[in-house]
Amino acid sequence: MKIAHFSRIGFILAAAGSAVGLGNIWKFPYIAGEYGGGAFVLVYLVTVLSIGFSIMIAEMLIGYLGRMDAAKSFEKLAPSNKSRWRLAGMMGIWAGLLIMTFYSVVIGWILHYIVVAFSALPSSVAEAESAFNTLLHDSIITQIFYHTLSFILISAILVRGIKAGIEKLNLILMPMLFIIVGGMFLYALTLDGFSQAWDFMFSPDWSKLNSEAFVIAVGHAFFTLSLGMGAILTYSASLPKEVNLVKSSLYVVALDTIIALLAGLMLFTFLYQYGAEPSKGPGLVFISLPAVFYEMGTLGNAFAILFFFALAFAGLTSAVSLTEPMVQYLIDKFDMTRFKAVVVAGGFFYLVGIIALLSNTTAYGDMLHFGSKNFFDWVDYITAAFMLPFGGLLMAIFIGYKIPKKQVFAAVGKSLGRAFSVWYFILRYIAPVALIIVMLNLLGVITF
């Protein structure tokens, strides 16, 4: 089936929108500070430009050469064992859709906090923590309402297709995201807390740079670029033939990294300026920051509104990229209309998402708790610890060992020049080993 083409800038912004997600804003800044500040950032940048960049080009190549959904692209390009390699594509397709089952719920939390920012922010960390815990554990109807709103927004974008939906969304939201984060960063530059935020993130503490830090750097570099879930592959199938894959990859990596650094400095400046303790994950976004914004007075309300809108933009651009691989697969495999494919894919993550949000509640938590984790956490763990790194590993092996080197060189050799041999070596030998170590670490098989 013929797939509509992105424009060059549309693809870069869509791929960057896929990469720039919630992890950039609530995870990267904290792990940078925890694992050696500037020392970790240096390792992370080297990792992004080597392993992350290498896998991104490999994933883009599969989509660019295959010109189909993730499963059919693998099947079309595989010189042998076509049906087995088709399963590699299915791995990414299902990984993205499973992530969406809880990602949509989190976007719902963000939409809820936009409303909170317009009304009354919590006046202290204790009040903010109580409000978030009430939402998470007791406010089932509220969570379902905003999860439903998230589902509707994502589906409405996907139904419109590549050009009118996904590309247009990113052409609007990505510049707005940069303007909001950039503007808040410029304000942060004027505050005394900026120097503390800079020290937290960039002052090198080499004593914290252990083997665990290297594994964390590889894992985050891989996950933050949305690799292994079929999103970049599916978007790349819609690239014009004359596009430069290497330059496009570099632009995506640069935009993703810049947003993470600016957001981190901005957020931690606010935390230090108003005496709040740095925290990680949802605690940073839904507990610490709302209380900090309250302390800022009227300006804080404005910043809270802008911040949660920016977070929603980042979430929505990533969400459409997580769902699109399944949508395209259903269109290609079953000849569905785009509307029907969106309803099927969206309906799956919406219904399973309700189970995920219920697993956090007091009323249904025990029923949906299995072993050491509830349903929400199990889906997060399985996708992060196994499906994504294994999907990336298969992509590296596929391009590095299964596709003829001459065919790979013809596609990217001219763009990479003398660096082709370095990239090819990393793809064949360094990236697979690094991803196996990350996967085994996340699965708890090896620890550091």
Look at residue 448 and tell me if it is in a domain. Answer: no
Look at residue 3 and tell me if it is in a domain. Answer: no
Name the region of 407 (left: φ>0; alpha: ψ -120 to 50; beta: rest): alpha
Segment 18-36 shows an average pLDDT of: 81
For residue 281, pLDDT beyond 70: no
For residue 37, pLDDT beyond 90: no
For residue 238, pLDDT beyond 60: yes
Query: What distance in Å separates the CA atoms of residue 162 and residue 443, rounded to the nearest whole number?
Result: 36
The DSSP-derived string for 91-123 is HHHHHHHHHHHHHHHHHHHHHHHHHHHHS---S
> What phi and psi, each to the nearest 5 degrees, are found at residue 252?
-65, -45
pLDDT band (50, 70, 90) for residue 1: very low
For residue 448, pLDDT beyond 80: no
For residue 2, pLDDT beyond 60: no
Look at residue 385 and tell me if it is in a domain. Answer: yes
190 or 210, higher pLDDT? 190
Q: Model's pTM, two decimal places?
A: 0.94
Cβ(191)–Cβ(275) below 8 Å: no
Q: Give me the number of domains the chain comprises.
A: 1
Decide: helix, strand or coil at residue 296: coil
Look at residue 77 and tell me if it is in a domain. Answer: yes
For residue 191, pLDDT beyond 90: yes
For residue 149, pLDDT beyond 50: yes
Give me the chain's average pLDDT, please: 92
* Predicted local distance difference test score (pLDDT) of residue 208: 85
Look at residue 352 and tell me if it is in a domain. Answer: yes
Look at residue 91 and tell me if it is in a domain. Answer: yes
pLDDT band (50, 70, 90) for residue 444: confident
The DSSP-derived string for 188-253 is HTTSTHHHHHHHHHHS--GGG--HHHHHHHHHHHHHHTTTTSSHHHHHHTTS-TT--HHHHHHHHH
Q: Of 239, 182, 249, 241, whose CA–CA distance to 19 is shortest?
A: 249
For residue 84, pLDDT beyond 50: yes
* Predicted local distance difference test score (pLDDT) of residue 251: 94
Query: Percentage of the chain surpassing pLDDT 70?
Result: 98
| pLDDT 10s digits, 353-395 | 999 999 999 999 999 999 999 999 999 999 988 999 999 999 9
For residue 168, pLDDT beyond 60: yes
* Predicted local distance difference test score (pLDDT) of residue 4: 66
With a CB cutoff of 8 Å and minimum separation 6, the contacts of 131 are 116, 122, 290
Segment 313-323 shows an average pLDDT of: 95
* Predicted local distance difference test score (pLDDT) of residue 423: 97
For residue 284, pLDDT beyond 90: no
Q: Which residue has the tokens 């002052």?
A: 203
Segment 70-99 shows an average pLDDT of: 95
Range(s) of the domain holding residue 216: 8-442
> What phi and psi, each to the nearest 5 degrees, are found at residue 275?
75, 20
How many Cβ atoms are within 10 Å of 297's Cβ, its own excluded?
A: 9
- CATH code for position 327: 1.10.4160.10
Look at residue 1 and tell me if it is in a domain. Answer: no
For residue 166, pLDDT beyond 70: yes
Q: Of 83, 71, 81, 55, whose CA–CA distance to 393 is shortest?
A: 55
For residue 3, pLDDT beyond 60: no
* Predicted local distance difference test score (pLDDT) of residue 188: 96
**Share in percent of the chain as helix, strand, coil (round to 5):** 80, 0, 20
Query: What distance in Å separates the CA atoms of residue 274 and residue 345, rounded to the nearest whole number?
Result: 43
What is the distance between the terminal CA atoms of the chain, rounded to a whole angstrom? 48
* Predicted local distance difference test score (pLDDT) of residue 216: 87
Look at residue 245 and tell me if it is in a domain. Answer: yes
Cβ(44)–Cβ(24) below 8 Å: no
